[in-house]
Chain A
């Protein structure tokens, strides 16, 4: 794409929003587009096609990616960048290379001055008194924040259907889910409602939506990006990461938000690698690519299996060395994840008690604090959140702790050992990201286990803390699917290098990037203005 990019071309709003984030940045630096123009182009497109996530889905064919649109602030930041650039001088020279390029933020990452709900009634109307570190870094670099995107409540789910406010549609097929939990961020990026966005990945919540929407999603090494200000689900698994249309854009965004943060005690002190340089890619010749022999073939859609095999053959043809690696513990990883995650979540979500902030429900006729807590949490949490809290409380309770939580932590050790052995033989590991393409809305909401199985291939990376990335592989039955790359811990640069090379191979084979093939969007319902206005407690 970049080969044919003319920074001076005259572009309409529809063409502007289809540029990559790095192309937008180049035009801003060249002065051929202003940040206000760029932000306004996205806001207009949101107004036309995003609809209103809080409206009845039956009457709204919009994408419904945004829970809150941050119009005034985004335009103000854009105008600031434009003014600095127009004035020239040292301040203009010191602008971040991405300054003025808009970005969207998943709504479980706290932001001052606009709501943060985690898609839960529990936090409806709440305003954070502080910014997450990643948000502070976006502000420092002067990236206008377009708004906050929809998710499964507290990031618990794989389809964004568990949002307390409403569903988000897959831009490729409005009757299908965009994946989850970060379906809003992925759908916004795929639908050109934002060039890139932040997500959070606990078991695949950035990578699976990327696979479902034909975009790129990255879970960095655990600790490579600060979690300060991410509303915690499972603290030993949660990781903030970028969603974008290209590997290079994802790298550029991780470069902005990553690096050590003293406010997160699990943050790595490593010197930051040059991810933007890494995302220029590498020669596939000599790249050692591991293919896991232990993933259950029958769980994967035949079209995805066939697509995966074709890409493996193409990699081999391009000079990559394909090595079969055995990861026998992957079999138990899903079970371990669905014990560790709810256990940690049950503890993390204890803070939502109706005392210091958020929702409070007082039972009829008053009540003790215990009764108020019980009523508050009954009304504030949705069914999936309650399910995970109860499951976690069970797994941690006396008499069951060793059998469940303890065993799961041992499986975690085995998964790490599997990866360590595999990475002695290979540079990266390649799997399909999700077993199926995007499924229909409502298809999996009745049986939690069918939804959980979706995370089969993405969970091991979270358990081991290693970085993983979903790159679009192609289209099956009119829907995109993803290829997942994984690299050893702290080797995010290697992941971006290999990811960019794989992305280029896929584009060569298809004659263009997967995301460019997304169909035209339908019109959305008009957004009710009151529902998205900051301030005022619900």
Chain B
């Protein structure tokens, strides 16, 4: 059975950009272990010779004419932004100490 440590969950949470409390980290590692215990059966279910399926009904080369259509205006695109300035999305500093 896979063991999921608290440190591992902390790392995953950082990758997923979700700040977690100590309590959440503890609960999550227990939950993940329980779920993985159940779903790990998939590893034995299919041999090496089975081709993976990524999409249930495979379509190929779905193109459309390369003409602009159905665009939002700049105003519409920014209308629901938490913060904007001069027609652009405004975000906090990317780097520390700026």
A391-B89 in contact (CB<8A): no
Closest to A385 in B: B18
B94-A368 in contact (CB<8A): yes
A413-B51 in contact (CB<8A): yes
B80-A416 in contact (CB<8A): no
A374-B17 in contact (CB<8A): yes
Interface assignment of A387: CB less than 8 Å from any CB of chain B: yes
Closest to B40 in A: A335
Per-position 1/0 for B42-71, Cβ under 8 A of A: 110110001111111101001010000010
Neighbour of A356 across the interface among B24, B62, B89, CB < 8 A: B89
Interface positions of B from 9 to 44, Cβ below 8 Å from A: 9, 12-20, 24, 28, 31-32, 34-36, 38-43
Closest to A378 in B: B19
Interface assignment of A262: CB less than 8 Å from any CB of chain B: yes
B interface majority secondary structure: loop
Q: Which of chain A's residues have a CB closer than 8 A to the CB of B85?
A: none
Interface assignment of B87: CB less than 8 Å from any CB of chain A: no
Interface assignment of A312: CB less than 8 Å from any CB of chain B: no
Stretch from A19-27, A69-77, A404-412 contacting the other chain:
A404-412
Neighbour of B18 across the interface among A265, A355, A381, A464, CB < 8 A: A381
**A326 vs B50: C-alpha distance when bound (angstroms):** 19
Neighbour of B93 across the interface among A369, A397, A407, CB < 8 A: A369
Stretch from A58-66, A126-134, A141-149, A436-444 contacting the other chain:
A126-134
A390-B42 in contact (CB<8A): no
Contact A489 B56, CB 8 Å, known A356-B81, A449-B34 = yes
Interface positions of A from 461 to 495, Cβ below 8 Å from B: 462-466, 489
A393-B51 in contact (CB<8A): no
A413-B46 in contact (CB<8A): yes
Interface assignment of B83: CB less than 8 Å from any CB of chain A: yes
Q: Which of chain B's residues have a CB closer than 8 A to the CB of A357?
A: 80-82
Interface assignment of A3: CB less than 8 Å from any CB of chain B: no
Q: Which of chain A's residues have a CB closer than 8 A to the CB of B24?
A: 383, 386
Most-contacted residue by chain A among B4, B43, B54, B77 (CB, 10 A) = B43
B18-A465 in contact (CB<8A): no
Q: What's the minimum C-beta distance from A214 to chain B, rounded to whole angstroms? A: 29
**A281 vs B83: C-alpha distance when bound (angstroms):** 55
Q: Which of chain B's residues have a CB closer than 8 A to the CB of A391?
A: 32, 35-36
Q: Which of chain A's residues have a CB closer than 8 A to the CB of B4?
A: 394
Interface assignment of B76: CB less than 8 Å from any CB of chain A: yes
Q: Which of chain A's residues have a CB closer than 8 A to the CB of B41?
A: 331-332, 335
Residues of B within 8 A of A (CB): 4, 8-9, 12-20, 24, 28, 31-32, 34-36, 38-43, 45-46, 50-57, 59, 62, 64, 70, 72, 76-77, 79-83, 89, 91-96
Residues of A within 8 A of B (CB): 126-127, 129-130, 221-223, 236-237, 262-263, 265-266, 268, 329, 331-332, 334-336, 338-339, 346, 350, 353-360, 362, 366-375, 377-378, 381, 383, 386-387, 389-391, 393-394, 397, 403-404, 406-414, 416, 447-449, 452, 462-466, 489, 537
**Shortest beta-carbon contacts, A-B, top 3:** A465-B56, A409-B52, A410-B46
